[in-house]
Amino acid sequence: MPGRLQDKAALITGAGSGIGLESSILFAQEGANVLLVDVNLPAAEKVQKLIADRFPNVKSAAFKADVGKEEDVKAAVDKAVELFGRLDVMFNNAGIMHPADDNALNTEEKIWDLTHTINVKGVWWGCKYAILAMRNNPVDEAKGLHTGGSIINTASFVAIMGAATPQLAYTASKGAVLAMTRELAMVHAREGIRFNSICPGPLKTPLLMDFLNTPEKRDRRLVHLPMGRFGEAVEVAKGALFLASDDSSYMTGTDFKVDGGLTSAY
């Protein structure tokens, strides 16, 4: 049986860890050729090796890029098109959260700027170069489906509700991702390019565990989680797979929550 992303070409940023790592494996398992992009090349190479061993029928490669640099993002998209001949799925997932006390009074401007360069401009540039690449994709008349492409941007539950732990620059950056994704979805809907945000809840990945670096901080966050546990990166990757595939062909502009019920909590 063909996979849900059979023969599609996907680029995943932040592919060396957490959500990006699990999505890379899942996308490959579902038949996609995958370009694994990360600023940490050895981490991406490790994932690529795992994929090459487990799924020898798909093409995969690791690529070093800092999404906070426009020329790197362009080079990554160019590489995907060079290797796979097209780009169907762009997962703008890489992001950072500064572990320092990030509140209105303490946040340093350089932390704010770095967070926004990676989390906001990185997503913008990812969308920009993916749109340009996807415009070259043919429409699949036989399937009657838009084949322009699917662009998924990782936002966060903090873009929807306030977090009690100070992370102001991060929160503001994720709000920008959500707003940007909605507008892009509207502007490009008629050319068959879909844009959706994925909004993870608190996950057991290095990004959050480094931030909630004491048992007290973790317990405090757990109190707010209806399911009483942190999510697994693979649970978000399954949501990303749905948004990447034609199963979500009538969805664009959504904020797709994979948050253990957090954003519905009282």
Residues taking part in catalysis: 170
Per the CB < 8 A criterion, the answer to whether 32 and 57 are in contact is no
CB of 10 to ligand NAD, least distance (A): 16
CA 76/CA 126 separation, integer angstroms? 9
Closer CB to ligand NAD, 148 or 239, in the complex: 239
Closer CB to ligand NAD, 95 or 149, in the complex: 95
How many angstroms from the chain centroid is the CA of residue 197? 8
How many angstroms from the chain centroid is the CA of residue 23? 9
- Decide if residue 111 touches ligand NAD (CB under 6 A): no
CA 10/CA 178 separation, integer angstroms? 21
Closest CA to 197 of 185, 207, 186, 213: 185
- Binding residue for ligand NAD, selected from 156, 167, 181, 248, defined by CB under 6 A: 156
- Decide if residue 207 touches ligand NAD (CB under 6 A): yes
Reported as type and span, the H/E element at residue 154 is strand 149-154
- Decide if residue 262 touches ligand NAD (CB under 6 A): no
- Decide if residue 66 touches ligand NAD (CB under 6 A): yes
How many angstroms from the chain centroid is the CA of residue 104? 27
Window of 3-11, 93-101, 215-223, 238-246 that interacts with ligand NAD by CB under 6 A: 93-101
Q: Which of residues 10-49 bind ligand NAD (CB under 6 A)?
A: 13-14, 16-20, 38-40, 43
- Decide if residue 93 touches ligand NAD (CB under 6 A): yes
Window of 50-58, 99-107, 195-203, 216-224 that interacts with ligand NAD by CB under 6 A: 195-203
Per the CB < 8 A criterion, the answer to whether 12 and 93 are in contact is yes
Tokens of residue 174, six digits: 């994720």
CA 211/CA 174 separation, integer angstroms? 16
Closest CA to 127 of 66, 185, 56, 175: 185
- Binding residue for ligand NAD, selected from 187, 206, 238, 261, defined by CB under 6 A: 206
- Decide if residue 153 touches ligand NAD (CB under 6 A): no
Window of 66-74, 83-91, 105-113, 185-193 that interacts with ligand NAD by CB under 6 A: 66-74
Per the CB < 8 A criterion, the answer to whether 222 and 229 are in contact is yes
Closer CB to ligand NAD, 68 or 192, in the complex: 68
Q: Contact residues for ligand NAD (CB under 6 A)?
A: 13-14, 16-20, 38-40, 43, 65-68, 93-97, 118, 154, 156, 200, 202-203, 205-208, 233
